[in-house]
Structure 1
Amino acid sequence: MASSCLQTKTLGESDVAEAGRRIPDCRMTIELLSLRKEYTQQDYMSGRAQISANYSESVLPVEEFLCHLSYIKGHNTYYNAVLLQSYLEKDSLISAQYPLPDNTEDFLRLVKDFDARVVVFLCPLKDIESTSKWYPSSEGQTKFDGMFYIKNLSSTKAANVTINRLNIQPTGFNQMDITVLECPKWREKQKTSDKRILLDVIKAVKTEKTNEKGRILVLSSDGATRCGPFFVVYNVLEQISVDREVDIFTAVRQIQIRRPECVSTVVAEQTSKKIEVGSDANEE
């Protein structure tokens, strides 16, 4: 992994096209799946103990990489989220499931505890049942959710992405401003990935990350579906920005070790293979 002090350059459409060309082909896909690390039930101890707090019993967090929430009396310390590393920074990314209706406060605690300043929902927020419990949908609106006071500072639209700036104030802790990105055109019922939406949301994340410290939290229904393609392309772009050379196998393996199901979803959809970004770049 490259050092975080390496100098990076601004990514252009040609870099995005290069990333698309370097995504795993079918043969690499088969090899990656064959190398998938086999974890034991003990490795999923927390997820199994809190089975009702998971969207899917088939996607549980590996204990070693689990994001444990800080202890607060009367509250859970579990959320289905794992730390991932980007090409430039260790543990700078988080892969998590959407908040369930009864654990939206835990989702906000995850944001607070792990200083997630950029939060990405890979679908429209309105498609998630729990959104109304914590998210103030219009500018200036506020919400209370457990120990959190949330205010919508602004909402703007970009290409295939809505950018929501929120202020969250946890009782007894410092307030923080976060950016919540959502994909209004990538409906939850869609079974396959939209290549242009995926690239546009990654572009928006990279823009926000230049102005924000803290981690990037990416959420999908189960914490793996849709997240896998996002992280693969994100890390490939980081590699290209540093040295123009990409070890795509290693990039995918880094994600696979910590969230094995992420790579399973990459290959199941063949999302990355379908990202023919070279032709997209020519369209612009």
Structure 2
Amino acid sequence: MTTFTATQWPRVRARLWQYALLTRMHRPIGTLLLLWPMLWALWIAGNGHPDAGVLIVFLLGTWLMRSAGCAINDFADREVDPHVARTTDRPLATGRIRAREAVGVFVVLSLLAFALVLTQNRLTILLSFVGVALAASYPFMKRFHHLPQVHLGAAFGWAVPMAWTAQTGQMPTQLAWLIFIAAVVWATIYDTQYAMVDRDDDIRIGVKSTAILFGDADRLIIGVLQVLMLLALLLIGRDAGFGWPYFLALVVAAGMFGYQQLLTFYRVPEFCFRAFMNNNWFGAVIFAGIVASYLLHG
């Protein structure tokens, strides 16, 4: 049996810290953005009272799969990240972690997430294979087309039909797919804002994004997507029979989209990043409206 001496532990801790950096443990924003649509769907599928076991499984699964996604993303971008100002210090870009280690982290975390899914019904297990395929393929899409942000939306949004089937034991309904569509549109919005931060570097090194595709029309197209997102959320509220707390939350959320437009007005990278980060609060406001509507109106 292998044992560690007192002198070896600092090196072990340092290695574990590099794995934590690889999986963005210090930056939970990606986990939160993945979390919110899943929670919207789970609360609606459970009519305001989701199963506690399903909730725990999906909270843990969300964290594991986002961490796994970061590892495979850095593996895919290991030749790109050293040339992008925002990513030059990532563990794989600096050589502090080897490529095969990143793949190993992805595999281990994905298997742990799959072990959680195995506690759910058969349909949810089958849907999970699509989720893994989307998560594993997304990081490579920026080399093939200008819509990797839409691919990310599908990967993040796939938690919606999975949570729905786990809660109900049935195929996702039209309402569930409407939530999924809203999640895809939302991810396209916030990841385009994120891509605006790196646009100059991405053009220089030849990778693709919606920020590059949209060009000078980026703010206009994001605005159109924001309107479509709000319309989708309005339809979700109507179909779910929500009361005034939810629609008040939509008003607040619309104001947040307006604030994001102001932040990106001059396309300053720092402020584009702040617009991206603001989407966490957007998701939280919508979730608060859902929960409040169930609490006040059953």
TM-score by length of 2: 0.28
Structure with the bigger percentage of helix: 2
Please say which structure displays the higher CA radius of gyration. 2
Q: TM-score, normalised by structure 1?
A: 0.29
**1 or 2 for the larger relative contact order (CA 8 Å, sep ≥6)?**
1
Bigger strand fraction: 1
